[in-house]
Amino acid sequence: MSAPSATHLHPDVQAVLSNLDPATRDLPDARVLPPQAYCSDAFFEFEREAVFMHSWLCVGRVEQLPAAGDYIALTVAGESILVVRDTGGGVRAMSALCRHRGHPVAQNCSGNAKRFTCPYHRWTYDLEGRLVGAPHIVRQVPIETLKQEATLPPVRCEVWQGFVFVNFDDGAPPLAPTLSKLDPYFDGYPMHDMVAVLPRPQEAPVPWNWKILLENYIEPYHTEFVHPVIHDFAPSTGVVFDPWHPDDNAISRGVPFLAEGGGLTEAGWAAPASFPVIPTLSDRQKRQVAFCLLPPTMNLIFTPDMICWGVTYPESATSLRVSGGLFTHGGWLVPRATAELPDFDERAARLMEGSRQLGEQDTGVNVAMQAAKRSRHAPHGRLCYLEETLSQFNKWLSAKYRAQAARSGIG
């Protein structure tokens, strides 16, 4: 496919769109994305619309919304939204912006409510987003007229494996079919009896582009060099990459352990795992770690003792957040029996120490990578066969970029 004409776009956006072809080639000819994709404010704004307004974005777990009226108010890709357990027991999402003048009815918080009231002029909405009250203005406009005009706009919402997703694109395909390739990874995990553990959010500056974080997560090429010793138990040379199809919203790979029953410990990847091995898993599942990316915001890690997930949201071209406010972006799924172990907290602390070490080692690499993208000598390098998932990610991204260019009438 030829690159779209971008004559009226910012030069940085033009530079990326006109140089996508090398990034979408198959290995061994695939190359990295153009550097402007990682450091340009103008391209980030293009990307916010191209990617984040037209993708399924994870916003939490159903366990965070156990009862009618439970809600999470958060900002996703610049949009203020409410995710609510409604009176019928369903989970729905809607814009949090009051239909009067746009002040959020709730912002970066969570809790339980029967109604949502805008703090600015006290317009009030029910759990389905319908207007139920508006002080004083009813003297000039009947409340029934206002109710027809002022409903909090719905945002598409789906629940998949207990994870809550939203999508600002009403025309996007349903989520679940695009994730079907991950079904085998869930086999053997007793999802009906898994407990979501939401660790305390750990705020930290993340001064690099969101794609740098995800690229580091999905490619195994760096692990033996950046994570010596603590990653030796899962050598990258054994990696198995799953095929990727353009309709997939998942990119995945499995890495065999050197022995059965491994997991993340205070010493890194090792055996025995921090928690008991789940007995219903297959022999293969007991001997590997699987990394799955659900772009653009979510990742899953399947180990013999648990499922770990994380969610990230970009704040700018050069920064992102991994948790925030009163809700947690990330956590663990463990069998109920594991969560009830008397020494669960001690085991969890050991696991978190291993996670801290891995993250600390990745931080220096990610900071250096971000700085390199601004150099006049920033490379457009060739990808290694151990970076097949980067090639897949580039193809996923490029499809989003080109679709946005087409929507904008470019091409």
CATH number at residue 367: 3.90.380.10
Q: Do 147 and 204 reside in the same domain of the chain?
A: no
Q: Do 376 and 279 reside in the same domain of the chain?
A: yes
* Confidence at residue 159, expressed as pLDDT on a 0 to 100 scale: 98
pLDDT at 261 over 90: yes
Query: Average pLDDT, stretch 172-191?
Result: 97
* Confidence at residue 330, expressed as pLDDT on a 0 to 100 scale: 73
Residue 321: beta bridge partners?
313
215 three-class SS: helix
When divided into structural domains, the chain yields a total of: 2
Alpha-carbon distance of 145 to 148, in angstroms, equals 5
Band of pLDDT at residue 364, cut at 50, 70 and 90:
very high
Domain assignment present for residue 28? The answer is: no
What's the gap between Cα 213 and its chain centre?
11
pLDDT at 119 over 90: yes
- Identity of the residue numbered 91: V
Domain assignment present for residue 297? The answer is: yes
Domain assignment present for residue 9? The answer is: no
* Confidence at residue 294, expressed as pLDDT on a 0 to 100 scale: 98
Give the containing element (helix H, strand E) for 274: none
Q: Do 90 and 198 reside in the same domain of the chain?
A: no
Q: Do 155 and 185 reside in the same domain of the chain?
A: no
* Confidence at residue 366, expressed as pLDDT on a 0 to 100 scale: 94
Query: Average pLDDT, stretch 264-284?
Result: 94
Q: Which residues of 108-137 are buried (b: 16+ CB within 10 A; e: fewer)?
A: eebeebeebbbeeeebbbbbebebeebeee
* Confidence at residue 55, expressed as pLDDT on a 0 to 100 scale: 98
Alpha-carbon distance of 9 to 401, in angstroms, equals 13
pLDDT averaged over the chain? 92
pLDDT at 319 over 70: yes
Q: Do 149 and 186 reside in the same domain of the chain?
A: no
Torsion of CA 81, 315, 312, 329, to 10 degrees: -50
Task: Identify the domain containing residue 342 by its residue range.
Answer: 179-391
Q: Do 265 and 367 reside in the same domain of the chain?
A: yes
Report yes or no: 37 and 55 within 8 Å, Cβ to Cβ: no
Q: Do 372 and 244 reside in the same domain of the chain?
A: yes
pLDDT at 204 over 80: no
Domain assignment present for residue 109? The answer is: yes
Alpha-carbon distance of 77 to 147, in angstroms, equals 28
Looking at 108-117, 276-285, 349-358, 382-391, which range is the least confident one?
A: 349-358
DSSP designation for 324? B
* Confidence at residue 205, expressed as pLDDT on a 0 to 100 scale: 67
Band of pLDDT at residue 229, cut at 50, 70 and 90:
confident
Report yes or no: 365 and 226 within 8 Å, Cβ to Cβ: yes
Domain assignment present for residue 289? The answer is: yes
Q: Do 134 and 184 reside in the same domain of the chain?
A: no
CB atoms within 10 A of CB 364: 10
102 three-class SS: coil
* Confidence at residue 4, expressed as pLDDT on a 0 to 100 scale: 43
